Amino acid sequence: MTALGNEVTEMKNRVDEMTENLKTFESLPIEELKKENLELLNSNALLEEQFKMTSDKYEENLKLKEEMDEKYQNIEEAMEDKINEFASQNTLNTISEELKKMELDFDDLRNDMARKIINLR
């Protein structure tokens, strides 16, 4: 075959191939695909809205958690202060009780000594 014959054969094959492609494209359900694409766009819009709402709620809950953490920290500090105050007060009470006991013992000892001195005279 000649070069011109080869070109004609190639062109005929390409025309046949393009004709097949065109038939394939024409057989596609374009209206159904358009409808499905529209449904997918609507679903995507709903999902985006849900994602935004969920994201907003997450941010809000994160802020609430931070506030609660801060309040919890404040409560912990207040409790620690109260415990330390109680421990300090309890120590002071214990010391006070011991001092009273020592005073009583001293008074008893002084009275005993006074009686012994009186008895020795």
Structural domain count of the chain: 1
Please compute the mean of the pLDDT values over residues 59-76 and round it to a whole number.
94
| Cα dist from 33 to 23, 30, 45, 49, whole Å | 17, 5, 18, 24
> Rounded CA gap, 30 and 36, in Å?
10
**What is the domain range of residue 22?**
3-120
The yes-or-no verdict on residue 16 having pLDDT over 80 is yes
pLDDT at 57: 95
pLDDT at 64: 93
Please compute the mean of the pLDDT values over residues 97-107 and round it to a whole number.
89
**What digits encode the pLDDT tens for the residues 105-114?**
888 888 888 8
